[in-house]
Amino acid sequence: MCGITGYIGDNKTTDILIDGLRRLEYRGYDSCGIAVVDAKNRLYLKRVSGRVDALDKLVAADPAKGAHSGVGHTRWATHGAPSEDNAHPHTDCSSEVVVVHNGIIENYLDLKDKLLAAGHKFKSETDTEVIPHLIEEKLKSLHVQEKAVRSDMLEPVFFEAFRRAVADLKGSFAIAVVWARCPGMVLAARLHSPLVIGLGKGENFIASDVSAFLKHTKRVVFMNDGEMAAVKKDGVDFYTFQGKKTAREAVTIQWDSTMAEKGGYKHFMLKEIHEQAEAVENTLRGRLLPLGGDILKAEMGLSAEAMKAFSSVQFIACGTAYHAALVGRCLFENFGIPAYADVASEFTDRAKLMAPNTLVMAISQSGETADTLFAVREAKASGAKVLSITNTVGSTLTRESDYVLYTHCGPEIGVASTKAFLGQLAAIYLLGGHFAAVRGRLPGGDARRYAEDLLKIPRLIEETLEKETEIAKVADGFAASEHFLFISRHINYPIALEGALKIKEISYVHAEGYAAGEMKHGPIAIIYKGMPLLAVAPSGRTLELMAGNIEEAKARGAEVIAIVDQASQKTVKASRYIVLPSTDELFTPMLTVIPLQIFAYYVALAKKCDIDKPRNLAKSVTVR
Ligand code: M6R
C-alpha cells in the first residue's frame, strides 16, 4: 500500500521521481505527489488527487528549477479520504521539512495532541503529517533557529532530529524525508514496511520496491526493520534507530526493467496471463529431478530428515495466495500428509494450537502482506518453523522465515494476481512432490511420472492460452451480467474461489465461488434464469458428482459454461464448453484457472474497467 520514491543526484529529479511513481502506481493510486528542493533551497511541492499522469501534467506546466534531491509518493488511503490535502508529501509548519510515508503511525493521535498543544498547525487528516511536525519540533529542541546553524552542522543536526522523531513513532512505517535547508541528504527509515535503496554512480535512489529504479541501477540494499539510511549523492550510510552505524552489503537484482513494462499488451494483467507458462517453467527449473529432497536441501537448507519429521503442514496466506494454499492443502492431504490452510488474518488462536513440529508454509507474492507477516510471527512465537513461498527477493517475509522457496515469475504489476498464482502453484507442486517422495508416498516410478507430468505443464499452459479468442467471445456474451457463480470440487474448488475473486476485483460485479456440493445447502436459491455459472469439471474422481451439480443448476435456469477436457466433456452437459488439454487430475488447477482469468479480463474489458488498477485496491496490502 502506497509507493515511495526518493532521489539524490545530478539527473532530472522530478522526472526520476515521477517515472518511479508510475512504476509503483500498482501499490496505490488514489492520490500522489512529489517534493524537491530547488537550486535556491526552496521547497517545490506538487500534489494531486488522482493518478501519476495528472501529477506529471501539473509538474510539466510549472517545472522545478535545478533540483537535485526529492521524494515522491503514490497513495492508498488509510487515514483521511483521497484528496489533494491528504496526498503526500506532507510538510511541517515552516514548509521546510517534507515527508512521504507508507504504513500506519499507531500513536499519531497522541503525538498530534502534543504537537497541537505546542502550536503546530495541521493541514491534513492523515497520520503521516505528525512526522514532519515532529521533526520540526526536534530541530527546535536542537536549537535550530532561523539560519543559525553552521552549514557543516546541518547534516548531523538533520540526522539527529530525524532519529529522535523516529524514536517517538509507533506502528509500521517506511519514511523518506528531505529538509530544504540540507538538500545534499535524503533520510529514510524503515519499520515493518518495505524500503529499498538503489545504488547508482553519483546518484542514489529510495523506493518501496526495486521496480521504481531498475532502469537506473540493479545494485540494491534492502533496508532492515529498525534501520535508518542517510542517502547522499556519493554514498549511503546505514544506522540503527539508536544511531549506531551498520555495514550493509549490496545485492544485484536479476530482474530486467523491461520485465516491468507492458511489451505491447493493452494491460499488465493480459501480459502476465501470457507469461504464466514461463513463470511455471522458471519456478520448476532445476528443482524437480530427482524428487527426494536433495535439491531443496541445497537451495534452502531443508533436509530430507526434517521433511520426514514434520507432523503436519499449516498454510497461511491472503487473497489469491490463499487459494494457492487451499490447492496445497488438497495436494498434501492427497499424499497422506495432514495439512491445513487458513486465511492469515483469521489465523489468530490457531498458532498456539498447532500440533508440535508443524511446518508453516506462508505464501505471498510480495512477501510484504501485513496479515501474512503477522501470522508468521505468531507461528514462530509458538515454536513453528516457517517456509515461505514468495516472488520477492529481500522481502520482509524472506527475512523472517527459516526456509525460502522463491517463485521465479518476474515482477507482477497488475493488481489482479495471475502469473504469481501459477508460480505459487508450481512451488507447491514442487514441494508436494519432494515431501511425498521422502515420506515414501511417491515410490519409484510414481515419482518419475509425477515429475514428468509436472514438467509438461508449461506446454499445456501455452495450449490453453491459445483458447483466448474463444474465451473472450464467451465472456463478451455475459459482460452485462451482474451476478456470476463459480463451482467446483476438491482440488479445483479453490479455482472456483479464484475465478470469483478475479471477476469481482476487476469488474466490480457480484460473484461467488462455491464447493459444488454446498450448492443445495443454500446458494442454489440465488440461481435465476440466465445466470452465468462457470463449472470447473475436468476428468477425475469428482466428475460424476460435478455433472450432477451442473444438472441441478441448469434445472433452475443457470447458463452453464463448463471448463472441461475432452474426456470430461462427454459427461458434462452445458450450454458452452471451454475444452482444455488433459493432464493428471492433481495438476488440473494450473490449467483450469487460466480460462477463468481470461474470462474475468474480457468481462472487465467490455465493461471498460480500469483493469490494472481496480478501484479501492492496492497490489501490496501492508496494513492489517
Ligand atoms: O503479495 P501477496 O501474495 O501476499 O498478496 C495477497 C493478496 O493481497 C493478493 O493475492 C490479492 O488477493 C490479489 N489482488 C488478488 O488478485
The per-residue b/e assignment along 353-384, b for 16 or more CB within 10 angstroms, e otherwise, is ebeeebbbbbbbbbbbbbbbbbbbebbbeeeb
Length of the chain in terms of residues written: 624
Minimum-distance ligand 1 atom for the alpha carbon of 320: 10
**Separation CA 34–CA 121 (nearest Å):** 21
Cell numbers given for 323 = 487459494
Between CA 391 and CA 102 the distance in angstroms is 21
Burial string for 390-403 (b: 16+ CB within 10 Å, else e) reads bbbbbbbbbebbbb
User: Pairing mode, if any, of strands 227-232 and 339-343?
Assistant: unpaired
Mean per-residue pLDDT for 425-450? 94
Q: Which protein residue has the closest C-alpha to ligand 1 atom 7?
A: 319
- Which grid cell sits at 324? 494457492
Q: Is the pLDDT of residue 621 over 90?
A: no
| pLDDT value for 256 | 75
How do residues 290-310 score in pLDDT, each as one tens digit?
A: 888 889 999 999 999 999 999
Question: Would you say the C-alpha torsion 498, 502, 504, 509 has a positive or negative sign?
Answer: negative
Instruction: Tell whether the model's pLDDT for residue 260 goes beyond 80.
Output: no
pTM, whole model, 2 decimals? 0.85
Q: What is the 421 CA–ligand 1 centroid distance (Å)? A: 9
Q: What is the mean pLDDT of residues 156-169?
A: 97
Tens digits of per-residue pLDDT, 319-358? 999 999 999 999 999 999 999 999 999 998 889 999 999 9
For residue range 86-124, what is the model confidence (pLDDT) as tens digits? 999 999 999 999 999 998 899 999 999 999 999 999 999
Q: Whose CA is nearest to atom 14 of ligand 1?
A: 416
Alpha-helical runs (H) found in 37-129: 52-61, 108-117
Listing from the earlier edge strand, what are the strands of the sheet with 510-515?
510-515, 483-488, 532-536, 559-565, 576-580
Element (H, E) at 34: strand 31-37
Supply the pLDDT for residue 473.
Answer: 97
What amino acid positions are annotated as catalytic residues?
2, 619
Express each pLDDT in 40-53 by its tens digit. 899 999 999 989 99
Ligand 1, residues 76, 276, 364: which to mutate, most atoms within 8 A of Cβ? 364
- For residues 604 and 617, give the distance between their C-alpha atoms in angstroms, rounded to a whole number: 15
Q: How many CB atoms lie within 10 A of CB 450?
A: 22
Residue 184: closest CA among 228, 232, 238, 135:
232
Task: Give the number of the atom of ligand 1 that is nearest the alpha carbon of residue 366.
Answer: 1
* Per-residue cell: 422: 501459477
Of 389-398, 444-453, 534-543, highest mean pLDDT: 534-543
All three cell numbers of 574, joined, read 452445458
pLDDT value, residue 504:
97
- Report pLDDT for 152: 81
- Determine the distance separating the centroid of ligand 1 and the alpha carbon of 529, expressed in angstroms: 33
Domains of the chain, each with CATH number or no CATH:
3-261 (3.60.20.10), 265-455 (3.40.50.10490), 465-615 (3.40.50.10490)
Distance 364 CA to ligand 1 centre (A): 7
| pLDDT > 90 in the chain, percent | 85
Grid coordinates in use for 187? 533520510
Output the pLDDT for position 146: 57
Q: Which is the closest atom of ligand 1 to the Cα of 621?
A: 8
pLDDT (tens digit per residue) in 478-511: 999 999 999 999 999 999 999 999 999 999 999 9
Question: Residue 289: pLDDT band by 50, 70, 90 thresholds?
Answer: confident
Using alpha carbons, select from 431, 440, 447 the residue that is nearest to residue 336. Answer: 440
Q: Do residues 595 and 470 touch, judged by C-beta distance below 8 A?
A: no
Of 621, 622, 623, 624, best ligand 1 pocket probe by most atoms within 8 Å of the beta carbon: 621
Q: What are phi and psi of 36, to 5 degrees?
A: -135, 160
Q: How far is CA 41 from CA 205, 438, 547, in A?
A: 20, 65, 72
Q: How many CB atoms lie within 10 A of CB 578?
A: 23
Q: How far is the CA of 210 from the centre of ligand 1 (A)?
A: 18
Query: Which residues approach ligand 1 with their CB closer than 6 A?
Result: 318-321, 364-366, 369, 372, 415-417, 505, 620-621
Q: Which residue has 501534467 as its cell numbers?
A: 57
Instruction: Judge contact between 495 and 589, C-beta under 8 A.
Output: yes
The pLDDT of residue 147 is above 90: no
How far is the C-alpha of 455 from the C-alpha of 290, rounded, in Å?
12
Ligand 1 atom with the smallest distance to the CA of 365 is 3
Nearest-CA residue for ligand 1 atom 11 is: 319
Residue showing cell 495541521: 122
Contact 261, 23 (CB under 8 A): no
Mean per-residue pLDDT of the chain: 94
Question: How confident is residue 262, by pLDDT bands cut at 50, 70 and 90?
Answer: confident
Ligand 1 atom having least distance to the Cα of 420: 3
Task: Tell me the mean pLDDT in the region 17-28.
Answer: 90
pLDDT tens profile 551-583: 999 999 999 999 999 999 999 999 999 999 999
Give the mutation target among 26, 320, 406 for probing the ligand 1 site: most ligand atoms within 8 A of CB: 320
Mean pLDDT of 436-455: 93
- Chain centre distance of CA 73: 17
Whether residue 33 has pLDDT greater than 70: yes
Q: Report the atom number in ligand 1 closest to the C-alpha of 369.
A: 4
Lookup: cell for 413: 504489476
Three-point CA angle 498, 512, 520, nearest 5°: 120
Q: How far apart are the first and last CA of the chain?
A: 11
369 C-alpha vs ligand 1 centroid, how far in Å?
8
Interval between CA 198 and ligand 1 midpoint (Å): 25
Indicate the top mutation candidate among 276, 365, 392 to test ligand 1's pocket, ranked by most ligand atoms within 8 A of CB: 365
Which stretch of DSSP H or E encloses residue 101? Answer: strand 97-105
Residue 203, classed as helix, strand or coil, is strand
CA 395 vs CA 152, 364, 372, 481, 574: distances in Å: 36, 10, 12, 40, 45
**Ligand 1 centroid from CA 417, angstroms:** 6
CA pair distance 78, 73, nearest whole angstrom: 14
Cell for 45?
511541492
| Percent with pLDDT over 70 in the chain | 99
Element of type H or E holding 269: helix 268-274
Sign of CA dihedral 378, 382, 383, 389: negative
The secondary element (H helix, E strand) that includes residue 315 is strand 312-317
Whether residue 1 is predicted with pLDDT greater than 80 in this model: the reply is no
Each residue of 192-240: pLDDT tens digit? 888 999 999 999 999 998 989 999 999 999 999 999 999 999 999 999 9
Residue 443, pLDDT score = 85
- Tracing cell 517534493 back to the chain, one arrives at 35
CA atoms within 13 A on the CB side of 155: 10
- Report the greatest alpha carbon distance in the chain: 85
Residue nearest to atom 12 of ligand 1 (CA): 319
